[in-house]
Structures are given as C-alpha cells and as structure tokens.
C-alpha cells in the first residue's frame, strides 16, 4: 500500500487554533498581574493578531497596561510555548484519516520540537499515524525542505519514494526538497500560503482545496502519472 504523509499546521488542523489557545494561556497568566479578566486580555490579543500578526502581541498588551519589561515578555512567550493546547482536526482531515485508516500514515512537521509534540498530543492522532516525525529532533538542518525524515519513512516502510505521497500547504518548503527524489506531492490550498504562486520546482504535483479530494482513485492516478 502506498504511504501517505501529512504536514501538520494548516494541513490537518488550523494553526490559528493553536495561536488562540496560546493567547488564552498567556491571558490566564497575565490576568492576576494586570488585574484584568483573562477573557478580556485574550480577546484583545486575538483582535490584535488579526490586524498586526503575532510579532508584537505580548509587548503591546503589557505596554497597554503599563507593565512592559523584557522579563515579562519572555514569561509570556514561555507560557505560550509551554501551554497544553486545545485543538481539533479540520473536519476533512478527520474524514481523511478515517478513510485511509488501513494505510501507513505519517506526519512530518517542522518547528520547536516540544511545541510540535504538544500539538500532536492534543489532536486525535494516537494510533492513527505510525509516527509523527518532528524534523527538529534531528537537528535544525533537517527541517523541510531537507528530505532526511522522508528517507527515514522510506526505509521504515521499505518503499521507494515514488510510493510515498506528501500532503502539505507550504509551497515555499514542503515540496521542493523531496520532488527531485521522486516523492509525490499534493498541495492543500489553505492557510497563509494558499494564494502564493510558485515556480515549477516548488509547486506540488497536484493541488486540492480539501482533503476530501484525496481518495484512493486520486492517489492511484497520482502514482500512475
């Protein structure tokens, strides 16, 4: 049976879920310090992220309350990174993992290894994927587009690259490193990269809008192409 490998953030669950979950953890930490209800703080952070992005959210909430310090910003970042997130799979991801339950399934994800491990633990993935490869565990240089962990999957399954399909959303790094080795690639058009156009080297073999499009027929056609 072919091997299906999935990216995590914005492929199987919406990454913004994680961000908002982290904001709630930071709000709970700051609430007694700032004497402001946690819900108010969290709502402010969510609103600011929507406009300005994640970069300055903790600086700004502390500044607004006259409590900015480098140490408190660092404490917010720790609360964010160390919190146990509440996450849910995309509905189509849930259906996809169920549809291919008998197949060898894997995850490959970049990012802070403990953060990524907590995301994996928070999602209903145990017993459904054979292994979640956190590239960070193998060193930063093994992050995508490096193909190292994909080669580990081939070895583990005793499969050639042409029998392994990677599904991801980030056209900047998800496909360019593994395509030359013969891996098959599928781009899911959602998240921050959905509207990026890519050159042929970076673009996936196929693009889909939902994981519902990933059927056994779709996979067979992709492998035969």
**Cβ closest to Mg ion, residue 29 vs residue 193:** 193
**Cβ closest to Mg ion, residue 34 vs residue 87:** 87
**Cβ closest to Mg ion, residue 79 vs residue 93:** 93
**Cβ closest to Mg ion, residue 12 vs residue 76:** 12
Under rule CB under 5 A, residue 110 binds Mg ion: no
Residue among 34, 35, 45, 125 nearest 80 (CA): 45
Which region among 8-16, 51-59, 125-133, 196-204 touches Mg ion (by CB under 5 A)?
8-16
x/- map, 148-187, Mg ion, by CB under 5 A? ---------------------xx-----------------
Distance CA 207, CA 213 (A): 10
Count of positions (residues) in the chain = 225
Residue from 2, 9, 21, 72 in contact with Mg ion (CB under 5 A): 9
Residue from 6, 10, 107, 116 in contact with Mg ion (CB under 5 A): 10
Classified as helix, coil or strand, 85 is: coil
What are the respective helix, strand and coil percentages of the chain, to the nearest 5? Answer: 50, 10, 35
Please provide residue 83's backbone torsions phi and psi, each rounded to the nearest 5 degrees.
-70, 155
Residue nearest to Mg ion (CB): 9
Distance CA 183, CA 35 (A): 54
Under rule CB under 5 A, residue 146 binds Mg ion: no
Taken in order 47, 194, 213, 18, the sign of the CA dihedral is: negative
* Binding-site ranges for Mg ion (CB under 5 A): 7, 9-10, 169-170
């Amino acid at each position: 049976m072919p091997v299906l490998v999935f990216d995590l953030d914005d492929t199987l669950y919406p990454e913004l879920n994680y961000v908002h979950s982290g904001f709630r953890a930071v709000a709970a930490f700051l609430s007694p310090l700032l004497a402001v209800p946690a819900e108010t703080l969290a709502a402010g952070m969510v609103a600011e992220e929507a406009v300005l992005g994640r970069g300055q959210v903790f600086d700004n909430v502390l500044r607004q309350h006259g409590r900015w310090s480098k140490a408190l910003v660092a404490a917010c970042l720790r609360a964010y990174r160390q919190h146990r997130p509440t996450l849910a799979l995309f509905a189509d991801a849930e259906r996809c993992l169920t549809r291919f339950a008998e197949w060898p399934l894997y995850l490959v994800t970049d990012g802070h290894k403990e953060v990524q491990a907590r995301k994996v633990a928070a999602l209903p993935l145990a017993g459904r994927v054979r292994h979640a490869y956190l590239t960070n565990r193998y060193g930063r240089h093994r992050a995508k587009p490096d193909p190292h962990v994909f080669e580990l999957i081939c070895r583990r399954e005793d499969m050639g690259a042409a029998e392994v399909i990677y599904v991801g959303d980030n056209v900047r790094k998800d496909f360019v490193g593994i395509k030359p080795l013969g891996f098959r690639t599928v781009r899911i058009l959602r998240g921050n990269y959905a509207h990026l156009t890519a050159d042929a080297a970076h673009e996936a073999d196929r693009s889909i809008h939902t994981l519902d499009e990933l059927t056994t027929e779709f996979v067979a056609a992709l492998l035969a192409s």
